[in-house]
Structure 1
Amino acid sequence: MERHPLYEQFARECPDAPQKVRWLSFQVYLDLVLAKEWANVHARFVKSLEKIVLLARRELEEEAEIMVPMTEAESWSVSSVSILFSQLSEISLESSSDLESLVLAIMSTDSTVVYYRIYNGLVPPEEEKER
């Protein structure tokens, strides 16, 4: 991992992160940068969660999305998701609005990454458009 050409840039953004949490986040970082070709991806270590989260933009003019790398073996509950939102709302983004959603970047044992958007609270269904 340390020999990858993009690792040095990634590691500079989260120097305080323990080595054990870097591998998973770096794999998701590579998926976004190389496979999905997102325009802007930055890593940030969130000490209270013991995780490196990614602030990512598909296009430069889009608002940054918070990506939370995790393994498929991690368990989540309504309570843990609520804690996740409260901890991540402290991350400063350019928008001053509340954190409405984030993306779980779930990596399987074969390194496939599935992205799953979750919302803070209940979201009403979109109104059906008239044809």
Structure 2
Amino acid sequence: MAPLPSHPLYIKFLEQCVDSPPRVRGLSFQVYTDLLLAKQWWSVQPIDVPSLDKIVLVARSQQHDKREWIIPMNPQENWSMEWLSRTFANLSSVARGVESVVLAIVSTDATIVYYRIHKGLVPPKETKEA
């Protein structure tokens, strides 16, 4: 992979979050490229959210699906119910109606694990009996 500053996707990524702190760009860019290239998601947009001290990615898994809010994290970050409440509150200032987020946890070996977290209680999906 080319060094980040000269990578064509990094240049496009940076144009959309030029004011973000450099320390959060690498992790977010890794998730950004995973969504675009490996998972082939639609319209992946980085958004700098200073109140979270993160670049949040907004994307669609399919062209006509609803927007997903993806939060890049490293495994050493602590998160709690309080942190999740603050996260939903901070995202509400960016966009209305954020009911779930996807935590993209990037390990040191570049593996990314995605966890969907809903705001409040969500009933399980109904399954068809055979």
TM score, norm. by length of structure 1: 0.90
- Report the Cα distance in structure 1 between the residues aligned to 2:50 and 2:71, rounded to whole angstroms: 13
Aligned 1:92-103 pairs, distance under 5 A: 92=95, 98-103=97-102
Q: State which of 22, 33, 56 in structure 1 corresponds to 2:59.
A: 56
Q: Output one character per residue of 1:44-82: Cα deviation in whole Å (capped at 9) or x when no partner.
A: 000111100000112222211000000011111111111
1:105 is aligned to 2:88: no
Aligned residues: 127
Aligned 1:80-99 pairs, distance under 5 A: 80-92=83-95, 98-99=97-98
Contact 1:40 1:59 in 2 (8 A): no
Q: Residue 125 of structure 1: CA displacement?
A: 2.6
**Aligned-pair RMSD on alpha carbons?**
1.3
TM score, norm. by length of structure 2: 0.91
1:116 is aligned to 2:115: yes
Q: Residue 91 of structure 1: CA displacement?
A: 1.9
- Report the Cα distance in structure 1 between the residues aligned to 2:24 and 2:129, rounded to whole angstroms: 48
Q: Tell me, which stretches of 5 or more residues in structure 1 are unaligned?
A: none
Q: Tell me, which stretches of 5 or more residues in structure 2 are unaligned?
A: none
Equivalent residue of 1:59, what SS? coil
Please identify which structure carries the higher helix content: 2
Structure 1 runs of 4+ off > 6 angstroms?
A: none
Match of 1:22 in 2: 25
Contact 1:57 1:65 in 2 (8 A): yes
Identity of aligned residues (%): 51
